[in-house]
Amino acid sequence: MSWFKRKYTPIKPKKRGIPDGLWIRCPDCKEFIFNKRLRENFKVCPKCNYHFRIGAWERIDYLLDKGSFKEYDSQMESNDPLEFKGTKAYKDKLIGDQKATGLKEAVITGEGKIGAYDIAIALTDSNFIMGSMGSVVGEKITRAIEKAIEKKVPFISVSGSGGGARMYEGVLSLMQMAKTSAAVARLSEAGLLYISLMTDPTMGGVTASFASLGDIIIAEPKALIGFAGPRVIEQTIRQKLPPGFQRSEFLLQHGLVDLIVSRKDLVPTITKIFKIFLS
């Protein structure tokens, strides 16, 4: 006879999931990449060389000599000159992006060293209102150029701006195109080197002003660079654009950029340029 009656319940092994944040999928080749490996490879896909978009602080870490960066105008931020109201008020948009990114504005400016050479630098960040150029962005870039003139050092701009001029500020935003271009002209008159690095994306008023005025214009591979976006152009002219239109490689063939340089090779390339022009 049976002394004990107990229902048998098999123990199911727990499924082992992959912890969040360990892997990321490349948007280009669709391969999964270990995040640590991606960071060690300058946020570039090791299989297809796709350059992930990165923020301004990450670029500072990759470009500048360790511990050399000193920020300018770190507390400068936009107000709301037009009291813009839309689906979301401009003030609310600014506060939201400041909280999400930890940035005060869409540009970081300062001074530092690359390969032991002193430089002044401005870096726009597409994470903050798509890196669009408002009055504060234009002012900070202009002040950084003026610092380069004062200190007699090269100026470097790193553009990651997909938003062009910032519509929330109307004509005040459009004025920054002329303002930054005039500052670049003064830099040139002072006989100082200006290197412009165009990254994905560099669009709108940024492309139509300071980003295209460098003595040497470098682009990262496959970066989207232009004024209006490809879809807008196709809808306007009602024609299909050539393959790769507005990408770095197409623009190199047509003379808009001078070099295409992979992210991991930027520091040695810029250092070599300095050795040629500053010796």
Q: How far is the C-alpha of 123 from the C-alpha of 266, rounded, in Å?
A: 15
pLDDT in tens, 68-105: 999 999 999 999 999 999 889 999 999 999 999 999 99
The alpha carbons of the chain give a radius of gyration, in whole angstroms, of 23
- Any idea which residue has 């900070």 for tokens? 140
Q: Residue 23: beta bridge partners?
A: 34
Instruction: Please check whether residue 170 is in contact with residue 133, taking contact to mean a CB–CB distance below 8 angstroms.
Output: no
Instruction: Please check whether residue 251 is in contact with residue 218, taking contact to mean a CB–CB distance below 8 angstroms.
Output: no
Report the amino acid identity of residue 239.
Q
pLDDT at residue number 229: 85
7 in a domain, yes or no?
no
Which positions ≥6 away from 130 have C-beta within 8 Å? 106, 161, 162, 163
Percent of the chain with pLDDT over 70: 93
* 31 and 104 both lie in a single domain: no
CA distances in angstroms from 107 to 22, 140, 165, 192, 241, listed in the order given: 29, 8, 13, 22, 32
* 31 and 148 both lie in a single domain: no
Confidence of residue 2 (pLDDT cuts 50, 70, 90): low
pLDDT at residue number 206: 95
* 41 and 156 both lie in a single domain: no
Average pLDDT over residues 12-27: 70
Determine phi and psi for 176, rounding to 5 degrees. Answer: -70, -25
Average pLDDT over residues 120-132: 96
* 120 and 144 both lie in a single domain: yes
Instruction: Please check whether residue 196 is in contact with residue 212, taking contact to mean a CB–CB distance below 8 angstroms.
Output: yes
pLDDT at residue number 13: 53
Average pLDDT over residues 125-131: 95
pLDDT at residue number 164: 85
* 139 and 253 both lie in a single domain: yes
pLDDT at residue number 66: 96
Residue of 46, 73, 76, 43 whose CA lies nearest to 59? 43
pTM above 0.85, yes or no: yes
Give the domain range for residue 68.
53-278
The residue that leads in pLDDT, 64 or 10, is 64
Instruction: Please check whether residue 45 is in contact with residue 99, taking contact to mean a CB–CB distance below 8 angstroms.
Output: no
Average pLDDT over residues 146-155: 98
The residue that leads in pLDDT, 126 or 12, is 126
Report the amino acid identity of residue 189.
E
Task: Supply the CATH number for residue 146's domain.
Answer: 3.90.226.10
* 24 and 124 both lie in a single domain: no
- Number of domains making up the chain: 2
Q: Residue 70: beta bridge partners?
A: 111
Instruction: Please check whether residue 184 is in contact with residue 152, taking contact to mean a CB–CB distance below 8 angstroms.
Output: no
Q: How far is the C-alpha of 249 from the C-alpha of 49, rounded, in Å?
A: 14
